[in-house]
Amino acid sequence: MQKVFKSCDKLDQKCYESYITEDILMEHAAMGMEKYIRTHFAPGNSVLIVAGPGNNGADGITLARLLYHDYEVKLHLPYGIKSLMPKLQLKRANALGIEETEELEDADVIVDALFGAGLNRLLDDLSIQLIHKMNSFKGHKIACDIPTGVAEDGTLMPLAFNADTTLTMGAYKEALYLDESKDVIGKVERINLGMSSQLYEGESDTFVLEPEDMKLPTRDKEATHKGTFGHAAIFTGEKEGAGIIAGTAATRFGAGLTTLVIHEKIMAPPYLMHATTVPDNASALAIGMGLGGHFEEEFLQKYVINSHLPIVLDADALSSMLLLSIIEQRDREIVLTPHPKEFVLLWMILTGEVLKVSEVQAKRFEMVRMFNHKYPHVTLLLKGANTLIMQEENLYINPLGCTKLSKGGSGDVLSGLIVSLLAQGYPAIDAAIHGSLALAIAAQNYQGASYAMLATDLIDEVAKLELC
């Protein structure tokens, strides 16, 4: 996993004061982009660099110098040059023979160095025209630091550069991970600014997860039996399919036993047991998926609230005042898995504040932190294109999910994976992180059409993760 920061201003400032100058940082920023281009594109390819008036533009001008002669470099400066660094960089570039181009033409590589972290107002007509044109080009699109049109807090402006790759300077930033900007940010790579990233970054309590972080359930001992791997009890209500999907996922992910807790007899697959109460040896519970109003309060009080077993609260459980009372239990492993609409409901129950889904989406990081401030012992997993997971003071971003997951049933699989890990004895935060990673990586591995994946296909991919 990699550290993530709200902004890099303080980190840059620390460098200037303690280690190296702005000029050297900028040289490394440009060298990082140069390396990316040289690795992916042979000399002779054309590179269009659109550079703005500030330091982001200066990065672009420096890149032009580094590529000039080996590549067919076209440098466009639509706003001229305003501050000291771009002036210095342009002087150096001009001395080498680089001239500005007036025409914007397609190229093999298009670099957006218009505005980076300094974008502080809506784009004007000139930028809008430029970005429309750059987006229409076929070349590989690289954003320097952050695509123009994504504000420092990650908010997406009505128009943004549509990057294939964002080469972000020095450290990963939260602004790269708001859901609404995921499409324009593309793949994210970090560029080191002339020193180890450890030294540049310092401490952070926010992290972005990588595929290598996923830990699968271990079965490294032979002297075991089904009881060794826990017993997941999944409350199955009105929409029994949700319980069956979650139960199948829990069993596939290693739970030694899985029982669907039911009120009425259902047709369950043979590997799932069913019972009308929670089995005595259950080691974790999941409730909410397809639940409806199936179980009476007395029953829930006895088997869910008074139980103190580790628990996943999902879907309908997140709008039940009774079930949400569980989050006050400080001695219990608790995972909440709302999607943004469910978060709105649970936030209203917990605080009385009525939010719109769009408000939650616009400030996902802030909302998760506000929840965490009230309930630090609870693991909150806010679903989305970039899932956020937080417990105690640590926040983890899982950006690895994909659109194949946008189908009913994916969330039930996730609940099943998490309750499986809880049943096997993993702490709530680990169960949420590794369940969420397994879901995302399994979806990536699915080979069918992007629109075709069923929850059962996803579970089949989970079953193969160890072999990948």
Ligand X SMILES: NC(=O)C1=CN([C@@H]2O[C@H](COP(=O)(O)OP(=O)(O)OC[C@H]3O[C@@H](n4cnc5c(N)ncnc54)[C@H](O)[C@@H]3O)[C@@H](O)[C@H]2O)[C@@H](O)CC1
Ligand Y SMILES: Nc1ncnc2c1ncn2[C@@H]1O[C@H](COP(=O)(O)OP(=O)(O)O)[C@@H](O)[C@H]1O
**Contacts with ligand Y, residue ranges (CB under 6 A):** 315, 339, 383-385, 387, 401-403, 405-406, 408-412, 414, 439
Q: In the structure encoding, which two tokens stand for residue 118, read together?
A: 């300094």
Closest CB 251 distance from ligand Y, rounded Å: 17
Choose which of 17, 18, 42, 120 interacts with ligand X (CB under 6 A).
120
**Burial of 364 (C-beta count, 10 Å sphere; 0-12/13-18/19+):** buried
- Which residue, among 39, 17, 458, has the nearest Cα to 202 in the 3D structure? 17
Residue 293 marked ligand-binding: no
Which partner, ligand X, ligand Y, none, binds residue 409 by CB below 5 to 8 Å per kind?
ligand Y
Residue 385 marked ligand-binding: yes
Decide: is 119 part of the binding site for ligand X (CB under 6 A): yes
Which partner, ligand Y, ligand X, none, binds residue 411 by CB below 5 to 8 Å per kind?
ligand Y
| β partners of residue 73 | 47
Decide: is 121 part of the binding site for ligand X (CB under 6 A): yes
β-pairing, 231-235 vs 334-336, is unpaired
Which partner, ligand Y, ligand X, none, binds residue 201 by CB below 5 to 8 Å per kind?
none
Residue 383 marked ligand-binding: yes
Closest CB 25 distance from ligand X, rounded Å: 4
The region of 103-111, 121-129, 220-228, 317-325 touching ligand X under the rule CB under 6 A is 121-129
N residues, the chain: 468
Which partner, ligand Y, ligand X, none, binds residue 52 by CB below 5 to 8 Å per kind?
ligand X
**Token match 């004007």: residue?**
124
Closest CB 130 distance from ligand X, rounded Å: 11
Residue 386 marked ligand-binding: yes
Nearer to ligand Y, 157 or 414 (CB): 414
Question: In the sheet where 334-336 sits, what is the strand order?
Answer: 172-173, 2-5, 206-208, 394-398, 387-391, 379-382, 334-336, 311-313, 284-287, 231-235, 257-261, 273-275
Choose which of 7, 22, 273, 377 interacts with ligand X (CB under 6 A).
22
| β partners of residue 379 | 335
Closest CB 60 distance from ligand X, rounded Å: 8
**Token match 């309750």: residue?**
419
Cα angle 143-116-185, degrees, rounded to a multiple of 5 = 40
Choose which of 118, 376, 425, 427 interacts with ligand X (CB under 6 A).
118
How many angstroms separate the CA atoms of 157 and 153, rounded? 11
Which partner, ligand Y, ligand X, none, binds residue 174 by CB below 5 to 8 Å per kind?
none
Which partner, ligand X, ligand Y, none, binds residue 29 by CB below 5 to 8 Å per kind?
ligand X
**DSSP per-residue letters across 319-368:** G-HHHHGGGG-TTS-EEE---HHHHHHHHHHHH-----HHHHHHTHHHHH
Annotated binding site for (6S)-NADPHX: which residue ranges? 242, 290, 339, 412
Residues near ligand X (CB under 6 A) are 12, 22, 25-26, 29, 52-57, 59, 82, 115-124, 127, 144-145, 169, 193
